């Protein structure tokens, strides 16, 4: 995105590298956080509103971003959660019948700064070789790159950082199966082989622990007939049991899973009381609750086409992923099963805990953006709840 009155912007990395480009988003604002990259070709709105990106500046590897605009249906939360945006080119033209505003306007509305006009290929090569790193985006004509590098080095490290208080709900709320949200999810699946495409007759009460849950996860649970009670991340085990759930869901979220110590203890206490399903941060917290350990990936998994193998059958799923930490499978207890493997780097992508009727995956079966290959996991959760009732 370039204009005659374009404002200069600088992206400074903690390793001393700087890029000069054009300011986008909230002109004059500043963004700082962990710089990561996402390889999805579309779905920028879902990415930027995903609470799992709290504290992170997102670089899109696809060179042209923003051409279909932004709408109110495709948000994953109540607004922009990413700390900043880096693109090669931000589209000045919005062309889609669902668009309600431009991505530029959306960034302005939430006060998020970004940078365009830089070589994102070179930037991603740095992140792949040296790893995700702290960074600052600043706007202005008299910026000191060296000073910005020093400020980038002062940004808190993602390791040891519990960001769930920033993104969890303040109070419980309920998502009902007989709603427009559930019907919307069913509509999006009507041209796939996945179910349900009609409202199920059986309903289950699911308590979803919100570590930064994506809206489309809740929509998908509701589409399968679940009455979902969403509770804050600090909700105790006794408070969750008092809600008498048919199933317990552990959501995605940002930050270092090992730092979410309260939730780990809560999940440890809840395991075995009702069928349990975890996604991403929920997968890591469940693993930590049974004694496993987690570690930070070099540059993480963020994109909509990551191949995962379902170990019991050998089937391959193409998955949507967004995480910077992983579970060390060698630290899982002997009775735990590693059910899924990421075929890009052979990291743990899913577990089953047969002693506790619990399972989890290190990716997003609801996609948004991404393919619908893994929707069967929601069906598995429904079967587990049906068998327990």
Check residue 191 and give its pLDDT.
Answer: 63
Percent pLDDT > 90 in the chain is 89
Same domain, 147 and 168: no
Dihedral pair phi/psi, residue 244, rounded to 5°:
55, 60
Same domain, 125 and 224: no
Give the residue from 108, 131, 152 where a domain finishes: 152
For the segment 254-280, what is each residue's pLDDT rounded down to a tens digit?
999 999 999 999 999 999 999 999 999
Q: Does some domain include residue 3?
A: no
Same domain, 189 and 303: yes
* 101 band by pLDDT with thresholds 50, 70 and 90: very high
* 130 band by pLDDT with thresholds 50, 70 and 90: very high
Indicate the SS3 state at residue 348: strand
Same domain, 266 and 117: no
* 203 band by pLDDT with thresholds 50, 70 and 90: confident
CA 349 to chain centre: 15
Beta strands in the chain (DSSP E): 8-13, 18-25, 31-38, 56-60, 64-65, 84-86, 89-90, 113-116, 133-139, 173-175, 204-210, 226-232, 247-250, 276-279, 294-310, 315-327, 337-342, 348-353, 358-361
* Residue 340 a catalytic site member: no
Q: Does some domain include residue 221?
A: yes
The mean pLDDT value for 222-229 works out to 92
Q: Does some domain include residue 271?
A: yes
The mean pLDDT value for 358-381 works out to 94
Give the residue from 152, 187, 219 where a domain finishes: 152
pLDDT at 197 over 70: no
The mean pLDDT value for 330-350 works out to 98
Check residue 325 and give its pLDDT.
Answer: 98
The residue ranking higher by pLDDT, 371 or 332, is 332
Same domain, 216 and 276: yes
Q: What pTM was estimated for this model as a whole?
A: 0.95
The mean pLDDT value for 133-140 works out to 98
* Residue 348 a catalytic site member: no
The mean pLDDT value for 161-180 works out to 92
Give the residue from 102, 128, 152 where a domain finishes: 152
Structure tokens at 129: 């070789």
* 44 band by pLDDT with thresholds 50, 70 and 90: very high
CA-to-CA distance for 178 and 172, rounded, in angstroms?
19
Q: Does some domain include residue 159?
A: no
Same domain, 113 and 52: yes
Same domain, 144 and 235: no
Same domain, 53 and 168: no
At 129, which CATH number? 3.50.30.20
At 278, which CATH number? 3.40.50.880
Count up the domains in the chain and report the number. 2
Q: Does some domain include residue 158?
A: no
State the residue range of the domain holding 40: 8-152
Q: Does some domain include residue 157?
A: no
Between CA 121 and CA 379, with CA 76 as vertex, the angle to 5 degrees is 105
Catalytic entry in 139, 306, 356, 364: 364
Q: Does some domain include residue 108?
A: yes
Same domain, 172 and 254: yes
The mean pLDDT value for 19-37 works out to 98
Catalytic entry in 280, 283, 348, 356: 280
* Residue 364 a catalytic site member: yes
pLDDT at 190 over 80: no
Same domain, 225 and 313: yes
Neighbours of 7 (CB within 10 A): 13
Same domain, 110 and 252: no
CA-to-CA distance for 109 and 332, rounded, in angstroms?
44
Same domain, 20 and 117: yes
């Amino acid at each position: 995105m370039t204009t005659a009155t374009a404002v200069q912007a600088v992206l400074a990395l903690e390793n001393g590298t700087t890029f000069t480009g054009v300011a986008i988003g909230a002109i004059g604002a500043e963004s700082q956080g962990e710089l990561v990259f996402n390889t999805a070709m579309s779905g920028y709105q879902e990415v930027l509103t995903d609470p799992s990106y709290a504290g992170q500046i997102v670089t899109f590897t696809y060179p042209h971003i923003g051409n279909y605009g932004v709408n109110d249906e495709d948000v994953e939360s109540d607004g922009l959660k990413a700390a900043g945006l880096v693109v090669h080119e931000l589209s000045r033209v919005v062309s889609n019948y669902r668009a309600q505003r431009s991505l530029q306007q959306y960034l302005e509305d939430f006060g998020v700064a970004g940078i365009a006009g830089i070589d994102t290929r070179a930037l991603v090569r740095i992140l792949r070789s040296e790893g995700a790193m702290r960074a600052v985006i600043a706007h202005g004509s008299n910026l000191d790159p060296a000073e910005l590098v020093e400020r980038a080095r002062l940004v808190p490290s993602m390791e040891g950082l519990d960001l769930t208080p920033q993104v969890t709900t303040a109070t419980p709320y309920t998502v009902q199966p007989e709603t427009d949200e559930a019907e919307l999810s069913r509509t999006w699946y009507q041209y796939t082989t996945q179910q349900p495409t009609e409202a199920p007759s059986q309903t289950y009460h699911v308590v979803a622990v919100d570590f930064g849950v994506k809206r489309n996860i809740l929509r998908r649970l509701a589409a399968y007939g679940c009455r979902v009670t969403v509770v804050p991340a600090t909700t105790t085990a006794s408070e969750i049991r008092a809600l008498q759930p048919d199933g317990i869901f552990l959501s995605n979220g940002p930050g270092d899973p090992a730092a979410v110590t309260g939730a780990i203890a809560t999940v440890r206490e809840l395991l075995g009381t009702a069928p349990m399903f975890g996604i991403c941060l929920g997968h890591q917290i469940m693993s930590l609750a049974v004694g496993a350990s987690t570690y930070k990936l070099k540059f993480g998994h963020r994109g909509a086409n990551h191949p995962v193998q379902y170990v019991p059958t050998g089937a391959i799923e193409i998955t949507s992923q967004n995480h910077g930490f992983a579970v060390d499978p060698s630290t899982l207890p002997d009775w735990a099963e590693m059910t899924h493997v990421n075929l890009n780097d052979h990291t743990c992508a899913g577990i089953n805990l047969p002693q506790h009727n619990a399972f989890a995956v290190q990716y997003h079966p609801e996609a948004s953006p991404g393919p619908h290959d893994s929707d069967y996991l929601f069906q598995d959760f429904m079967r587990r709840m049906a068998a327990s009732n």
